[in-house]
Amino acid sequence: MEYDTIPQQQSFSIATWKRLGPFVKPVRGRIVLALVLILLTAVTDVILPLFTKYAVDWFIVPQTTSGIVPFALAYLAVIAVQGVLVIFFCRHCMVIEMEMGRQMRTACFTHLQKLSLTYYNQTPVGYILARVMSDTDRISSVVAWGIIMFFWDIMFMTGIIISMFILEWRLALIIIFIMPIIGGVTFFFKSRLLKVNREIRSVNAKIIGAYNEGITGAKTSKTLVIEDQLTEEFSGVTGKFFSARMRETRLNAVFIPLVVMIGSVAAALILYQGGHMVMEDVLALGTLSVFLSYVLVILEPVQQMARIFSECLAAQVNIERVGDLLSQDERITDTPEVQAKYGDIFTPKRENWEPIRGDIRFQDIWFKYPDGDEFVLEDFNLEIPAGTTVAIVGQTGAGKSTLVNLACRFLEPTRGKVLIDGKDYKERSLLWLQSRLGYVLQNPHLFSGTVMENIRYGKLDATDEAVIAAAKLVSADRVVEKLEDGYNTQVGEGGDRLSTGEKQLISFARAVLADPPIFVLDEATSSIDTETEGLIQNAISHILQGRTSFIIAHRLSTIRHADLILVVEEGKIVEQGSHDQLMASRGRYHGLYTTMMLREETDLHGFWPDGDETDEE
């Protein structure tokens, strides 16, 4: 699937660049100062060749050194001023680049924290990372260096042209005639180089993606024995990259020599015409030397302006990408009235938060997914008193998580209300509810850091003793005892230094430490061996007492004692009741439970309960 659908713009768009206003505003003072510095630098660049004219006319031609010391001191002074200007200019540009990049990355990261889970379910991680890192870097670089240097090009070129007309207008006309030719050639090649560079960046992104998949999926590719196929696909992508780079090389192989040749022709014309004028005593030799200096350097700003303009066109796509991320609808958000009373996720007003008992009521709920056409819940009503344990069972993909996501406000009903303690949860803040949840996922995620730090995420102000007590409650201390540095062991990126079961135990401890009034176990014991699961089940029976809890079950034997069991098929609840009630009705739950118990007995003993051996030898 192609996620990068933003078109490649071919014309400069002011409206696109206006989107950078909030990020330019904090550094606008430095930008103004950088422009002043670059203007003064351009003045010194124009002045320096005039010293050559003075040296030739006053020292070389008359063959004297009288007055050379003041001349040398003045020359050195201008060079020193130029050096200081360049140092301060570069310093300001670097700060502009870093600060703008920081502002954009912070804005992107902050906005990502506000987006609902549906955005992350639909958007690849690589796409998000490219927006936050690569695109913001390119934008800040173009603004800090490209656009500001564009002004230097204009000032420098303008200063040179004015100086040439003051010195000798007839020779200046030759330069004016050559400049459009240089500009035309440069824009002709730069437009083609821009197109090739866009292709190179696009293919390079695919190469990075292929590397990422090859590394993260190495175990899968080896078990499927598809190394040859993956290598062939990767070779195809790198072949496209090679072809694009070769086209770029061929264009540069023509463009660069052609520009050098035109510059040489211009210098030859100046030398030819100026030489005759010197011989006829209508032009000083020093003036001719200045023109030769100017003709060699004036080509640089023309080329650089074309390059910067091409980069700005390319950067417009980066601006659109970042803007697209920042314009993503949050979908689930608090109203201004709620934010005024309860605060938001970054500035919560906890003093106004009411306590949560855990009564949950689904009232006349209709729900369909944002990208769906059919309702998966229709006129659904359910009341869950505080302290009730609700188990949700069904086949894979039946929609078991939908109800839990609605209760946790990760999703919101299309119609109807979800009441928490008798009040519509939309009338209270997202953080008020979600900070009171204990959520243990089937595939747990650990953050880079130590075991102690990961458990403490459940309650940031918890003491070490409280962290250790939470670990013991769910038997996570057994994992810690085996680790070299105990609770100070680094878990690695995503917890990749631990097994899935070990990560699961630590995530259990993290949820328990939060001491939430509402608990969610999303197939949380499916990755744990039977022995460890028994320990956790014993702990869970105590942990869930007095809490409203949802258990999305993988093993039905773990939810026999739930107060309410919901059976879900195709996103709809088809049965509900206690274990005994549903078994007595001999409906869908009875079939699921019987099949699952037979499967678990087979996995455990290797034979069917009636004593017949399986075919497994």
For 60-113, how does the pLDDT look when each residue is reduced to its tens digit (9 = 90+)?
A: 888 888 888 999 999 999 999 999 999 999 999 999 999 999 999 999 998 888
Most confident of 115-119, 247-251, 500-504: 247-251
More confident residue, 84 or 316: 84
Nearest to 567 by CA among 333, 408, 400: 400
Cα 336 from Cα 338, distance rounded (Å): 5
- Quote the pLDDT of residue 535: 63
Cβ proximity of 272 and 142 under 8 Å: no
- Quote the pLDDT of residue 308: 81
DSSP letter, residue 489? -
- Tell me which H or E stretch contains 381: strand 377-384
Count of residues for the chain? 617
Split at pLDDT 50, 70, 90, the class of 26 is very high
- Quote the pLDDT of residue 469: 92
More confident residue, 77 or 495: 77
Average pLDDT over residues 181-194: 78
Here the tokens at position 22 are 């909030």
pLDDT tens for each residue of 558-596:
788 889 999 888 767 888 898 899 999 988 888 888 877
Cβ proximity of 399 and 568 under 8 Å: yes
Checking if the pLDDT of 518 tops 80, the result is yes
Average pLDDT of the chain, as a whole number: 83
Cα three-residue angle 208-213-215, rounded to 5 degrees = 95
Give the SS3 label for residue 407.
helix
CA distances from 35 to 32, 43, 148, 162, 308 (A): 5, 12, 6, 20, 16
Cα 250 from Cα 255, distance rounded (Å): 9
- Quote the pLDDT of residue 603: 57
Checking if the pLDDT of 465 tops 90, the result is yes
- Quote the pLDDT of residue 28: 92
Cα 282 from Cα 279, distance rounded (Å): 8
Average pLDDT over residues 422-443: 87
Per domain, the residue ranges of the chain are 14-168+283-326
pLDDT tens for each residue of 348-364:
898 999 999 999 999 99
Checking if the pLDDT of 227 tops 80, the result is no
Out of 144-153, 157-166, 373-382, which region has the weakest mean confidence (pLDDT)? 373-382
pLDDT tens for each residue of 1-14:
344 545 555 566 78
Split at pLDDT 50, 70, 90, the class of 132 is confident
pLDDT tens for each residue of 325-338:
898 888 888 889 99
Cβ proximity of 348 and 429 under 8 Å: yes
- Note the Cα 113 to chain centre separation in Å: 12
Nearest to 126 by CA among 239, 15, 215, 44: 215
Cα 151 from Cα 145, distance rounded (Å): 10
Nearest to 398 by CA among 611, 574, 226, 213: 574
Here the tokens at position 170 are 């007839």
Average pLDDT over residues 165-191: 82
- Quote the pLDDT of residue 294: 85
Out of 101-115, 222-236, 402-416, which region has the weakest mean confidence (pLDDT)? 222-236
Out of 106-110, 299-303, 450-454, 545-549, which region has the weakest mean confidence (pLDDT)? 299-303
Q: What is the secondary structure of 266-293 as a DSSP string?
A: HHHHHHHHHHHHHHTTSS-HHHHHHHHH
Cα 510 from Cα 439, distance rounded (Å): 9
Checking if the pLDDT of 480 tops 70, the result is yes
- Quote the pLDDT of residue 571: 67
Phi, psi of 441 (to 5 degrees): -90, 160
- Quote the pLDDT of residue 219: 65
Here the tokens at position 585 are 């009705």
- Quote the pLDDT of residue 609: 45
Checking if the pLDDT of 345 tops 60, the result is yes
Give the residue carrying structure tokens 């201004």: 336
Checking 23-30 for CB contacts under 8 A at 24+ apart, the result is 23/100, 23/103, 23/104, 23/107, 24/100, 24/143, 26/99, 26/103, 27/95, 27/96, 27/99, 27/100, 30/92, 30/95, 30/96, 30/99
Checking if the pLDDT of 530 tops 90, the result is no
Cβ proximity of 24 and 331 under 8 Å: no
Split at pLDDT 50, 70, 90, the class of 114 is confident
Checking if the pLDDT of 173 tops 90, the result is no
- Quote the pLDDT of residue 232: 83
Split at pLDDT 50, 70, 90, the class of 419 is very high
- Quote the pLDDT of residue 524: 65
- Quote the pLDDT of residue 532: 64
Percent of the chain with pLDDT over 70: 89
pLDDT tens for each residue of 274-296:
888 888 888 888 888 888 888 87
User: CA neighbours within 13 Å on the CB side: how many for 311?
Assistant: 20
Beta-carbon contacts of residue 228 (< 8 Å; ≥ 6 apart): none
CA distances from 88 to 46, 94, 98, 478 (A): 19, 10, 15, 59
Checking if the pLDDT of 612 tops 60, the result is no
Average pLDDT over residues 536-565: 78
Give the SS3 label for residue 551.
strand
- CATH class of residue range 14-168+283-326: mainly alpha
- Quote the pLDDT of residue 298: 80
More confident residue, 598 or 91: 91
Average pLDDT over residues 429-452: 86
